[in-house]
Amino acid sequence: MGEIERTKETGRLALLAGLTIVIAVSFILWGVNTLHENYLFGITLILGAVAAITISIWVFLSERRKIASGSPMQDERSRMMLQKATSYSFYTSLYFILFLGIFIDEPFLNDHLTASRALGAALAEMVIALLVFMAYFHFRGIPE
């Protein structure tokens, strides 16, 4: 990998890490703002944002080390693993959204589950499902 490609890859990683940190800081501010109304939701936002910042810094530093050593950014196995994990998490998310659509009008959820909270739960489930499937395929291998 040439010097120009390394600089481009480092720049892309820095942009992605910076964008993640900006979004996470906005979630922290949103969490601090909602602490007095809903303590658990505010704490969840703050902890999730801190976890996102920590993970983005860790990914940035580890990928930067890979770029500096000259190793390739993505091989065939990691590309297939990401593709399988993405498709499995997509189907899992569809079932979760179907579940929310069926049970959103139930009396036991009617007071607590608004449309914005359902959307937030669906987005959180998508991210969590992707991370779980990535970890699963990393340790168990990719099915054929």
Backbone phi and psi for residue 112, each to the nearest 5 degrees, phi listed first: -105, -25
Report the alpha-carbon distance of residue 83 to residue 79 in Å, rounded.
Answer: 6
Domains identified in the chain, total number: 2
Structure confidence at residue 109 as a pLDDT band (50, 70, 90): low
Residue 139 has pLDDT above 70, yes or no: yes
Burial class, 41, CB count within 10 angstroms (exposed 0-12 / middle 13-18 / buried 19+): middle
Claim to verify: residue 60 and residue 81 sit in the same structural domain = no
Tell me the residue range of the domain where 66 lies: 1-73
Q: What is the DSSP letter of 113?
A: -
pLDDT tens digits along 42-54 = 787 788 888 888 8
Residue 86 has pLDDT above 80, yes or no: yes
Claim to verify: residue 56 and residue 27 sit in the same structural domain = yes
Mean pLDDT of 123-133: 86
Structure confidence at residue 1 as a pLDDT band (50, 70, 90): low
Residue type, 60: F
Residue type, 113: L
Last residue of a domain, one of 25, 45, 73: 73
pLDDT at 22: 83
